[in-house]
Amino acid sequence: MPWLKSERRVHSEEGIYGAVLVDSNLKITGTLSDEEILVDNISDFFKRFDLSYGKEEERLLKDVISSGREAVIEISSTKETLNLILIPINLHNQKQWLLILKRRDVTLDELEEIKHNILANISHELLTPITIAKASLEIIDPTQEEEEILSTAMNAIVRLEKLLRDLVRIGQIKESTKARVQSLQIREVAEEALRLMKKNAESRHIKIEASIEDKLPEVEGDRDALVHLLLLLLNNAIKFSPEGGKVKIYAKWRAPVRSLGRGNIEVCVEDTGIGIPPEEHDRIFDLFYQIDRGPSRRYSGIGLGLFLAKSIVTSHNGEIWVESQPGKGSKFCFTLPTSSGIEKRRL
């Protein structure tokens, strides 16, 4: 349900007046918040905040939407000047736009967090009907003729459920990581991820090789989050590699730069896939960013995986990067600080 902050009250922490989701025709498709106020159309969205909306404003918004890129538009009401942020997102191959009306003094970091929270709230709300639909399909006893139709429906729901859970995870990473930190061996994390990805790799005849150094120091981390991190990287490596290709995962210890430092574990996932142009390296970790953005995209996805991977690594005080050239495969690496005082275990 679309929403706006009532009576132009700004959230003291977010600096946001309102936000809605629209399609490419500027039709409101909805969003969620604690305060829900019905909005019938984009014109009402503007009028709530004493902003004019006519042919000129409509043309400007459609120009931005046709460009397919994020944009910030400065608009003035009778009381102040505001920023209207337009953010493109792909949901199940359907382009949507998140429109956020905010104060001009809201920082980019605050805006990024707001965007994540809105999307996580939407996804959390949608998970309930998806779960009910999935459970309903599971109890159906289909005839032989209905089996294929049921299987197609179930596969679609499973894909959508995975997408929604990834979106929900965006808002949970920071809190859950802090709450579930423990000392663990990266070898055990890698072995669990490899076990879970085995069938996926076998279905495409892709060989996965693992090389984990012996006696690696322990790291402090959330086991589930780190397993999920490796699943994201392995899944990408398999997806973008040709059938019969090869994927490698390896981990090694990196000595501290300073004698008093703790050192890091470096983990890399390397594939023999299509590769990534150098000019895309910095942007591929952005939320919803896709290299293959055309209408005839070969690969599924909406640009969540690498953003989630970076979020998990950052929440563990690590770094993540990519080394790649078109046609020469890709190597994604990340570091994790070792547990305090653990280096001596390598001796």
Per-residue pLDDT of the chain (347 residues; tens, 9 = 90+): 233 333 333 333 346 677 788 888 888 877 544 444 456 678 888 877 778 788 888 888 888 888 877 888 877 766 667 788 888 877 656 778 888 877 665 555 665 666 666 666 666 666 677 777 778 777 888 787 788 888 888 877 877 777 677 766 666 665 555 557 888 999 999 999 999 888 889 988 999 999 999 888 999 888 888 998 999 899 989 988 999 899 999 999 887 655 445 688 999 999 998 888 888 888 888 776 666 554 444 555 556 788 888 988 988 889 999 999 898 899 999 999 887 544 434 44
CA separation for the pair 17, 49 (Å, rounded): 8
Global pTM value:
0.59
CA-derived radius of gyration, the chain: 23
> At 83, is the secondary structure helix, strand, or coil?
strand
Which positions ≥6 away from 168 have C-beta within 8 Å? 120, 123, 124, 127
Tokens of residue 102, six digits: 């905010």
Contact 108, 72 (CB under 8 A): no
